[in-house]
Chains A and B, each alone.
Chain A
């Protein structure tokens, strides 16, 4: 039985996205946004590639004056920063946004408007970052911006564009990470358990969680450094009790996982392509474990970038050991792929060629990684071209080659046309040979003592021939990448029309003809790791009946099935948001904040905050007509799946969980910073300041416990007495406002200002972080109160998730307050 024509028509109308220029600003379609992500990221890649070529021209001959040291410093900074922040991760995120819903058998990502916001913020942050060129204020501190070089005492004004531009890009990344995690765990085809999930989704599940924690750490670090610049704090100035090494700790706690955030999605791509071309995939479980282990271990390696900084010797060897263990996890995956390909005589078409190129290059990069994990060797080659060679082998081999494989493999699914195989092979050989002749000699140059980040070298060092060869090879590699871009553009018009499944793939994206407007009007049922190869296996009749009932339904509001994270059994029908201009408006507000921060126009910062908050309110306020349609919906009776849900069955609650995780991790990062500064301070508090008073702040911070109790009471009373619930919301709202007033009054009369010394800086920063947490709680309580007043019928069902969110959030706020109080006020008495 198929859907009725009326349902089909209404369904298509409901999922229709606006077209044209203004419509393009409002679309939330994952495919359009994902393609934009990839196109924008590739544009940044080309720009950063040109920067690399300019540097190679400079280094082609000794004592060259094509570029001066200032331009060279700016170029390597912009090249590295662009590649790491604006190309590699966003390109992978775009790929995920397009293909994860396809592969998971769902209709959209979990938070479509968040996807749109994430893209706009990413685009604007990239433009802000590059706009430094308009004012001749370009960062020149390298992609990791070490303090004290990037601190106020030494940095040029370009550092503001670097910090603020990238801070916004990190927000975009965190949003994407939360979005993808929830989508993968909860929005899958009925029957698709975790153990049946495609490996691309597994790789992205681990990566997305890593993004949330790694990017949050960097975000906090950039806030601290920017506040040193803009507000005059002293987190990184040693003269005022700060510590320049703190930046390296925070940066590399992000920076090392960042490498794997780029690499892990690439392993997902490789697993999918190897599986398709060899018609089998060995070691599914081993690969999953490899991904998990790599993801975790990557957070425990940050000190291996800091061997030469004078840390206690013992601690270095902990990280050296962990660095060696990670080779096990990566090696497991390589062996699984080789074993899968062994003896299958796969066709050496362009996607597989790029995958084989990846394996060759990445294994070499991995081996030099093992060498660099060994402390004495790392100390010897630190900051030489050996390191440049190593990380390009890991990042270009480990990520860019799989990306190019993905472009050749999946382009037909987006455009409906095949890329030229001949051009694909030419581009592979150009990039592969060009890459190896560019970067392999750099190992030797590094061992011979050529330092990185020095704009020229003397003729008598004996490295001029190698440098010239490297420059020529770099141009060959660039020609290869340009040929790929040409191939993509050419194929849009002249490429052969693609079949539904041109490679014979096993995953669900190949069950649809091309990227259509609505994915899966009839949801698929999955009972195998290879749903297309095992399509004839018997399905669970109960799930079959469910997807039949849901065929082109619900027709007048957007929804899909939410499943149990582990088993893949359907648990609820969840609403997905429709197109809206508000993500674009909100991103404009965020950009106003960033640009005004760089310009130090603080009134404009306030205006940006107002636009952002207004955009968010309009975005999140539910459409009453849509709520009414959901109330009328008969599918809960027909399928047994609820619509209005709470807890882990509710997308808003899951989103709130991530917000709390981000706030919580930010606090943890600040606590670490506090104790790190404390460790190296001769006295604490600094400069002979008295120990903090205990009683007054205890009452202020303790007041949040009352707010939490009020919100929890509102939650428990909910369903029995609306008015009592409203009193609970109002009480938590008032407590939050009182807390903010009292805390600011207390901070005003403190003997130490944020500008006095590092103690004052971290003390006030933790207070501001607490303010941000409470302010969010106040907003949530106000929204719950307003909604409970505006909804008159069926409010027990409609508002259940919102009430639960408010209660859980206030519990989180109170717990945060206890911890902040313990660190700021109690710990100075104890240690």
Chain B
């Protein structure tokens, strides 16, 4: 028989559709933790714009960026579901990607909530 690689979507698209949100969440947590831990110990904590501290601005920007990455992963998963191809398991993984990415988007939002209570302090 011929060796087969045929999947309805590319392997990268399949893995990104499944795990993209997870990596986005992990990056968000590592980055906002680093910003809080390092920023609150450095002169960064004294900078502010529109009455909001630099630590909060950076944390919010990172959270928004990573939310968009998770959203993109969901979009890729949606595209994988719509692709016509053989029943090779990629569609199931794409559907799993919806739920996983959705959960991680919730996690990203939930983790961003405390920032609003610390807009001017650490």
Contact = CB atoms under 8 A, between A and B. Distances in A.
B114 A570 contact: no
Contacts of A318: 29, 32-33, 36, 111, 114
A66 to B, nearest CB: 44
A639 interface: yes
Contacts of A325: 103, 106-107, 110
A286 interface: yes
Given A318-B33, A542-B1, A571-B5, A313 B122 contact: yes
A782 to B, nearest CB: 33
11 contacts: A289-B99, A312-B41, A314-B115, A314-B121, A317-B118, A322-B110, A325-B107, A565-B11, A566-B90, A569-B3, A675-B38
Nearest to A571: B3
B113 A566 contact: no
B19 interface: yes
Contact of A311 (B18, B37, B59, B113): B37
Given A314-B118, A315-B40, A567-B89, 10 more contacts: A195-B89, A289-B99, A292-B100, A293-B104, A300-B30, A312-B40, A318-B32, A319-B29, A324-B110, A680-B41
Contacts of A296: 22, 25-26, 104
Contacts of B111: 318, 321-322
B31 to A, nearest CB: 10
A110 B19 CA distance: 25
Interface in A315-372: 315, 317-322, 324-325, 328-329
B72 interface: no
A328 B113 CA distance: 18
Contact of A679 (B18, B37, B88): B37
Given A195-B93, A285-B92, A567-B4, A322 B37 contact: no
Interface size class for chain B?
35 or more
A828 interface: no
A195 B87 CA distance: 10
The 8 closest A-B pairs by CB, nearest first: A193-B89, A317-B114, A195-B92, A195-B89, A569-B4, A315-B36, A567-B88, A312-B40
Contacts of B37: 311-312, 315, 679
Interface in B58-96: 59, 88-93, 95-96
A68 interface: no
A318 B27 CA distance: 13
A329 B122 contact: no
B59 to A, nearest CB: 8
B26 A321 contact: no
Contacts of A542: 1
Interface of B: 1-7, 11, 14, 18-19, 22, 25-26, 29-30, 32-33, 36-38, 40-42, 55, 59, 88-93, 95-96, 99-100, 103-104, 106-107, 110-111, 113-115, 117-118, 121-122
Given A313-B118, A317-B114, A640 B90 contact: no
Contacts of B30: 300
A288 interface: yes
A296 B108 CA distance: 13
B14 to A, nearest CB: 6
Given A289-B99, A312-B36, A642 B29 contact: no
Given A314-B114, A566-B89, A568-B89, A679 B38 contact: yes
A823 interface: no
Contacts of A572: 3
Contacts of B33: 303, 315, 318-319
Contacts of B36: 312, 314-315, 318
Interface string A281-321: 00001101100110011011001000000011111011111
Contacts of A289: 96, 99-100, 103
A293 B25 CA distance: 10
Contacts of A566: 7, 11, 14, 88-90, 93
B91 to A, nearest CB: 8
B45 to A, nearest CB: 9
Contacts of B89: 193-196, 566-568
B88 A321 contact: no
A542 B71 CA distance: 39
A680 B38 CA distance: 9
A567 B6 contact: yes
Contacts of B55: 314
Interface string A229-267: 000000000000000000000000000000000000000
A134 B117 CA distance: 55
A641 B100 contact: no
Contacts of A574: none
Contacts of A324: 110
A286 B113 contact: no
A395 interface: no
Contacts of A546: 1
Nearest to B22: A296
B1 A285 contact: no
A562 to B, nearest CB: 10
Contact of A570 (B4, B11, B93): B4
A286 B2 CA distance: 34
Interface in A537-575: 542-543, 545-546, 564-572
Contacts of A293: 22, 100, 103-104
Contacts of B115: 314
A328 B6 contact: no
